[in-house]
Amino acid sequence: MSNAPAGALGPSSVERADRVSGAGSRPPSRTSAPPFKKILIANRGEIALRIIRACRELGIATVAVHSEVDARALHVRFADESVCIGPAQAARSYLHIPAIISAAEITGADAIHPGYGFLSENPEFARLCAKCGVTFIGPTPEAMRAWGDKVTARANAKRFGFPLLPGSEVLRDADHAVSEARRIGLPVIMKASGGGGGRGMRIVRAESEVAAAFRQATHEAESGFKNPDVYMEKFVERPKHIEFQVLADKHGGVWTLGERECSLQRRHQKVMEEAPSPVMTPELRQQMGEVMRKAILETGYTSLGTLEFIMDEDRKLYFLEMNTRVQVEHPVTEMVTGLDLVSLQIRIASGEKLELGDTRPWSFRGHSIECRINAEDPRTFAPWPGLITEYFPPGGTGVRVDSGVYGGWTVPQHYDSLLAKLIVHAPTREEAITRMRRALDEFIVGGIRTNIELHKRLLDDDEVKSGEMTTRTIERLIAQSA
């Protein structure tokens, strides 16, 4: 591609991966042909490794793309081929569409898996993949626009009967924001229409703060997502955050795979997740599953999807948004359903009809908890890049670690601070908490600072142990220890 960074691509930059611990070896032949011959993974870190593992079990070759600073990363080492796509800055590498599509073309990849973050919810990227004859592993560009844009998603949710908090359409200017805040009633929260992860969000409790909050949210939305549109919703002070996993193939099959409890957050970033939610009832799960299945079927959505809700103190759910990609916290759903969501996502993209049986809400097996282990200062939560001098992940019955780091690896300053996802599974929630405490005690990361101690404190907190945690729990815990 003519817009690819100079020197980033070319025959000399495509390398056969090192053969370490079986890396690159193909599994025994399958009874049916693999869904794709070769998949390029447009991501890095643990999710890139997770996709490589799924591909290897499906008999699919893999291509890792990487920035210059990620040349020694594990996803590069374990893929079958690798391509350097640019310098450390994400805008010039992992977000640079011409370089990624060029890498797919020169390696002969017939599909691209975007993982999460980066280009995973970019409908233009999905459109360009199709234009270049490469399958985008995810929903169609049209479905991404219909559900990925938060204002459009709210309209869809209203049409299908999802409960909604009072809110606005896209705000035209500061004066419109003030009038809408008066109509909805303070406090309100402003949100970026095309984003997530806490960027472009502003909580407003006084009318005098509305105009400034609108300008700040618009600026963040433009810089973070290239889309300045923001809207507002009524703000719930102490909600729970609950999300539902759905799966749909291209033959009318839709499966609702239950919910995840994601209330433990800091600055709108999730810290710990579990499945199922300790406050969900079978009746509410069934009710929500039926509404979601109807919405997915009638909008023609396919692939993985996650519908996010908040729950107020009266245990009422309100639709927030839909994520049209695999989630960071997908492993807890995998642990309690016994499904490989990434493998299913790939098979759906190939057009395969899934044979998963009944489409009613899935039955859970036990309980699962995930802790996000981040490289950050435990007091200030500032990112803490640097050399990992020692790395020993926990193990044992019911323990899983999804990670892309190792001892001797230098955590770069240019990307998200996630080091690993520690996941446990046990017959009951109480046993899962006990197992997670044990696993956290075993986790050794030397040379940098991590948030492991925060997870230990959370598991000992009364709100968490009782299942009554909210999105304000971590904020309260920090205030108590200040």
Q: Which residues are catalytic?
A: 325
3-class secondary structure per residue, 46-109 = HHHHHHHHHHHHHCCEEEEEEEHHHCCCHHHHHCCEEEEEECCCHHHCCCCHHHHHHHHHHHCC
258 HSE (CA, 13 A, CB side): 28
Give SS3 for 254: strand
Asked if residue 89 lies in contact with residue 414, where contact means CB atoms within 8 angstroms, the answer is yes
Listed in sequence order, the residues at least 6 apart from 260 whose beta carbon sits closer than 8 Å to its beta carbon are: 242, 243, 244, 245, 273, 274, 275, 276, 277, 329, 332, 333
Listed in sequence order, the residues at least 6 apart from 98 whose beta carbon sits closer than 8 Å to its beta carbon are: 1, 2, 3, 4
Asked if residue 65 lies in contact with residue 83, where contact means CB atoms within 8 angstroms, the answer is yes
Tokens representing 118 are 């980066």
Pairing of strands 230-234, 240-248: unpaired
Q: Residue 108 and residue 110: Cα distance in Å, rounded?
A: 6
Tokens representing 90 are 């994400």
DSSP 291-360: HHHHHHHHHT--EEEEEEEEE-TTS-EEEEEEE-S--TTHHHHHHHH---HHHHHHHHHTTPPP-----S
Asked if residue 85 lies in contact with residue 94, where contact means CB atoms within 8 angstroms, the answer is yes
Q: Residue 144 and residue 153: Cα distance in Å, rounded?
A: 10
Q: How long, in residues, is the chain?
A: 482
Give SS3 for 373: strand
Asked if residue 193 lies in contact with residue 229, where contact means CB atoms within 8 angstroms, the answer is yes
Tokens representing 330 are 């997908």
Q: Residue 161 and residue 287: Cα distance in Å, rounded?
A: 11
Q: Residue 381 and residue 376: Cα distance in Å, rounded?
A: 5
